């Protein structure tokens, strides 16, 4: 496989066989609960978020209910997810905006989502893809690492990685594919168990590699 496109095509097909189903790792019931869960997942594992959110939903599971809660109440629940009380403030703040500006619904554009407190491009991309079915390619640490190991990008930053991957893969595959890469990264090509020379995909797409790959941030 001498070109990025050849590698991308093979990876796309292989991951589809490995992971025919692509369940969203974060437990949620609607666009609002997904938005909050993704916000909480920043620098936190999905597993921990899924342990915390049932307690948060008992406190408030709609923008209207959350906007009426004190930041301290939210903070006491979400603290295990880290970056508190910033996340608690963001959750209450975005809930107030959703009520006041959007009638209690989550907006369906990247621009509007990214204007909400605590919501960056990656969070907005996950919501657009998984809640609304809009093609997006959220790049997390797993995808950023694997895209470099698989020589799909030179990976100077996550923005470039996202742009490069969007050029290589069919738009209609993006939503499932970004989850498949995450699943593979967690299971086979972790930061510690593979250095770009160990797992099946690394060995297949870059067979002559002898040195470990250092991930560029």
pLDDT in tens, 81-131: 999 899 999 999 999 999 999 999 999 999 999 999 999 999 999 999 999
Within 10 A of 130 (CB to CB), how many other CB atoms are there?
23
The tokens for 187 are: 């299971």
Given this structure, which CATH class describes domain 31-130?
mainly alpha
Could you tell me the pTM of the whole model?
A: 0.91
**Is residue 46 annotated as a catalytic residue, yes or no?**
no
- Calpha distance 98→94 (Å, rounded): 6
116: left (phi over 0), alpha (psi -120 to 50) or beta: beta
State how far the Cα of 194 lies from the Cα of 10, in Å rounded to an integer.
19
Q: How many residues are given for the chain?
A: 217
Q: Which of 122, 151, 164, 195 is catalytic?
A: 122
pLDDT at residue 217 is higher than 80: no
Residue 66 pLDDT > 80 = yes
> From CA 63, how far away is CA 101, in angstroms rounded?
11
pLDDT of 119 reads 97
CA 123 remoteness from chain centre: 7
Is 122 annotated in the active site? yes
Hey, is 83 helix, strand or coil?
coil
Domain ranges for the chain, please list them.
4-22+137-205, 31-130
Catalytic residue of the set 27, 46, 75, 140: 140
Residue 216 DSSP symbol: P
Angle of the 158-168 helix axis to the 141-149 helix axis, nearest 10: 60
Residue 45 confidence (pLDDT): 93
Q: CA-based angle 70:47:182, to the nearest 5?
A: 120
The mean pLDDT value of the chain amounts to: 95
The DSSP secondary-structure symbol of 173 reads: G
Apex CA 210: angle with CA 160 and CA 191, to 5°? Answer: 50
CATH class of 4-22+137-205: mainly alpha
Residue 155 pLDDT > 80: no
Tokens of 51: 């342990």
Taking residue 186's Cβ as centre, other Cβ atoms within 10 Å add up to 13
């Amino acid at each position: 496989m001498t070109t990025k496109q050849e590698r991308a095509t093979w990876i796309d097909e292989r991951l589809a066989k490995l992971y025919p189903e692509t369940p969203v790792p974060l437990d949620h019931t609607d666009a609002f609960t997904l938005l909050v869960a993704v916000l909480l997942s920043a620098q936190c594992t999905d597993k921990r978020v899924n342990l915390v959110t049932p307690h948060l939903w008992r406190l408030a599971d709609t923008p209207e209910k959350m906007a009426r809660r004190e930041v301290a109440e939210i903070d006491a629940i979400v603290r295990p997810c880290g970056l508190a009380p910033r996340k608690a403030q963001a959750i209450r703040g975005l809930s107030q905006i959703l009520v006041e500006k959007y009638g209690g619904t989550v907006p369906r554009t990247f621009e509007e989502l990214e204007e909400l407190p605590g919501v960056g491009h990656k969070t907005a991309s996950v919501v657009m893809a998984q809640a609304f079915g809009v093609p997006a390619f959220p790049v997390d640490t797993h995808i950023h690492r694997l895209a470099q190991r698989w020589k799909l990008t030179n990976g100077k930053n996550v923005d470039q990685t996202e742009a490069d991957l969007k050029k290589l893969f069919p738009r209609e595959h993006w939503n499932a594919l970004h989850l498949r890469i995450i699943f593979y990264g967690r299971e086979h090509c972790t930061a510690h168990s593979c250095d770009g020379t160990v797992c099946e995909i690394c060995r297949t797409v870059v067979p002559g590699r002898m040195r470990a790959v250092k991930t560029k941030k």
